[in-house]
Amino acid sequence: MKNKLTKLAILVLVVGLISIMPILHARIAIGPAWQGMMPSYVTDGLFYFIQIVKGTAHIPFGNTPFFIEHANDINASPTAALFLASIPLKLGLSFTQALILGLIIWNLIFVYLLKILLEQLGTRRLWAWWLVGPIYLEVYWMMVRPAVLSAVFPFFLLFLIGLTRWLKKPERPAAIFLAFSFAATFYIYPYTWQVSGGTMVFILLLFLTQKDWSRLKGLLIIGLGSFILALPAFIYIYREISHPLFADFISHAGSIKTHLPSPQSFYIGRWIILNLIVWSGVMKLVPGIKNNLDFIRTWRLVIPTGLAILVLLLSPILTGRDAVIGEHLTREMYLWLAISSYMLLYFVWNHANLIPKRSGKMIMVVGLLTLTFVPVLAQYKRSVLPELKIDGPEAIYIQRYAAPIAWLDKKESKPTVIWANPDISSYTLIYSRHYVLVSGQDLANQYFVSGQEIRERYLASRYFKNVDSKSIMNEYDAALGSSDINQTSNLNFKLKLCKLFKLQRLASCDPEALVRLKAIRDRKIQDLIIENNRIVRPHIYDFLKKYHVTYAIKDLSRDQDFHIETLKNSKEVYNDGSIAIYYLTIP
């Protein structure tokens, strides 16, 4: 008993320290200048921070976190992961404390569930612990992201565990566990339930081809049970897609009309195909391996899951729409790829004595394993090192925002709206009760906010700046959404393929389409300039009043062109030599 407790304590210590390494690194980089402002240490880090603090008012799927007028609106991308990540914060911990505790807990859960899954797939306990390490590091860059995906992957593993248990013993307890774990994916994250649902479909097809009617019926009953359990999630999804601003949402979020999957989908899709080919090759080359029940059960899990991800990546071919699915499914793909590759290595290692040494078969097996580990090993550099890179001077600089934000929070007991630069706006959302005129995050557009409102907020916030074609092009995502940019990228990719395969004669390979798309984009920019000059700029006070702007916060070092003091009825109420706050009385 004492020995087990010692091992548990070591596990908690090691995983806990690894999970908060980026935060510790940031804290050390900031040193004595620390005032509680946590810098972003992952891509879109501030966006996740804001969602956890301001986007979890509604249980379980959250709300719109950026604008006070939309604070009670439903979340356009339902995920319960944000609410789960916010629980320590709701219990009274500071944001940094809640972030640290959440990362430790979810990383520990992930590691423990991963170890259970590997054992369920047939690895011996010691081997399971040995394999947990490299698989965990493969997705480390995702597991240190707050909420998404640190609180998402454990539920995906729970589903895989439930499926594995049921495939081994399709009995009532395993069926109930699978039904609940599958249903949970519909609440936790959209792409997780899509992969899980695709996996279930492919297993159903497997039973159908094998004419295994008993298991086919059992899995259909489980699916029905999961559907009933997930009914609230389906109702929420229906509310989402029937929302009057749904078309605006998918446009600003970057969804485009195309039958051509993105370059990213092709890039990661090739690794899935390669991995599936390697599994087939190993089955033929290693004597007796397909007689191993654990190998067959693992194969029954790995192949359907890989095919599910692959079909989703290629889904624009049929659906005619790409919602940046390649970029999102990259995450699930690398977790699947790591589990698949290391499990295959485990089985080959245990059957290596059956392969004649220095034979052609041995060379081919080693070659196949080497190929499948190319993307796995390459991912380690991207997975671990980027999360330990912190811009030290910038992390120190943002600490000066702590005092003015705290002062404003103390002065105003009710939420107000502030006008500030992107960094101050983001940290105001995280560390105060207040909202902003325009968020510092382009991803704020991924909510149910009309295109007109996004344009008005953008132009109002640029009142003191020169709004021209160049400035709008540099901030196109924030002003006009990312669909046009994604459409241009997709069209460029299509034209490259047309040239590569000499298909220029096809109507879909018309290079003039790119010219027309550029003309549409340029026209939108010119329309925005006209809107600024004729509507927003001459009536700035009307728009500040419309969006309930009460305060403006100015960084005296960086906001040289933010002449808020020249605005009629603006009054300086705070100045610490680096940051000034102005109270705005809107006439």
The tens digit of pLDDT for each residue in 178-196 reads: 999 999 999 999 999 999 9
pLDDT band at 502 (very low <50, low <70, confident <90, very high): confident
- In one letter, which amino acid is 458? Y
**Residue 77 confidence (pLDDT):** 84
**Residue 119 confidence (pLDDT):** 97
Query: How much is the pTM?
Result: 0.94
Residue spans of alpha helices (H) in 230-324: 231-241, 246-252, 263-285, 293-313, 316-319
Of 79, 51, 48, 77, nearest in space to 145 by CA: 48
Instruction: Average the pLDDT over 253-261 and give the result.
Output: 91
- pLDDT tens string 465-475: 999 999 999 99
Instruction: Average the pLDDT over 51-77 and give the result.
Output: 91
Residue 13 near residue 407, CB atoms below 8 Å: no
Place of tokens 């090691």: 14
**Residue 353 confidence (pLDDT):** 84
- Taken in order 543, 546, 549, 555, the sign of the CA dihedral is negative
pLDDT above 90 for 169: yes
H or E element that contains 321: strand 321-322
Q: How far apart are the C-alpha atoms of 348 and 438, rounded to whole Å?
A: 55
Residue 570: which region, alpha, beta or left (left: phi > 0; alpha: psi -120 to 50)? Answer: beta
Longest alpha-carbon distance in the chain: 88
**Residue 88 confidence (pLDDT):** 95
The chain-wide mean pLDDT, for the chain, equals 93
Instruction: Average the pLDDT over 143-161 and give the result.
Output: 93
Is pLDDT larger for residue 444 or for residue 50? Answer: 50
Place of tokens 């590091």: 137
pLDDT above 90 for 248: no
- pLDDT tens string 365-403: 999 999 999 999 999 988 887 767 789 999 999 999 999
pLDDT band at 205 (very low <50, low <70, confident <90, very high): very high
* CA geometry: angle 273, 276, 280, nearest 5 deg: 135
Instruction: Average the pLDDT over 426-443 and give the result.
Output: 90
pLDDT band at 108 (very low <50, low <70, confident <90, very high): very high
pLDDT above 90 for 446: no
pLDDT above 80 for 563: yes
**Residue 454 confidence (pLDDT):** 94
pLDDT band at 441 (very low <50, low <70, confident <90, very high): low
Domain boundaries, the chain: 450-584
pLDDT above 90 for 548: yes
Task: Write the CB contacts of 79 (distance below 8 Å, at least 6 apart in sequence).
Answer: 61, 62, 147, 148, 152, 187, 188, 189, 190
Instruction: Average the pLDDT over 239-258 and give the result.
Output: 90
Instruction: Average the pLDDT over 29-56 and give the result.
Output: 93
pLDDT above 70 for 6: yes
Percent of the chain predicted with pLDDT > 70: 99
Instruction: Average the pLDDT over 92-116 and give the result.
Output: 96
**Residue 462 confidence (pLDDT):** 96
Percent of the chain predicted with pLDDT > 90: 81
Q: How far apart are the C-alpha atoms of 212 and 205, rounded to whole Å?
A: 10
- pLDDT tens string 278-333: 999 999 999 889 899 999 999 999 999 999 999 999 999 999 999 889 999 999 99
